[in-house]
Amino acid sequence: MLAHYVVEPEGKRSMDILSEQFLGYEPVHIEELIGKKRKGQVQGTMRDVELEKSRSMLLKMPISLYN
């Protein structure tokens, strides 16, 4: 993110934007897994996510993210 700021100081920066722009990968938004936080309700955690659902999310990540 720091290198992106140096190269393009006026550009938008977030892990989601940079992964899309440079890796061609659109990450799964956390709200899709644990739900949105609503007033008066408790938001879920990653512990609440079914193992198969979190596993499939990891399998969709490009290999370059692991290197």
| Alpha carbon distance 25, 61 (integer Å) | 7
- Cβ partners under 8 Å of residue 36, min gap 6: 43
Secondary structure element (H or E) that encloses residue 37, with its range: none
Question: What are the residue boundaries of the structural domains of the chain, listed by start?
Answer: 2-65
The pLDDT assigned to 39 comes to 80
**pLDDT confidence of residue 7:** 76
Q: Which amino acid is at 64?
A: S
> Which pLDDT score is estimated for 61?
63
Per-residue pLDDT of the chain (67 residues; tens, 9 = 90+): 777 777 778 877 787 888 788 888 787 777 888 877 778 777 788 888 888 877 777 766 655 555 5
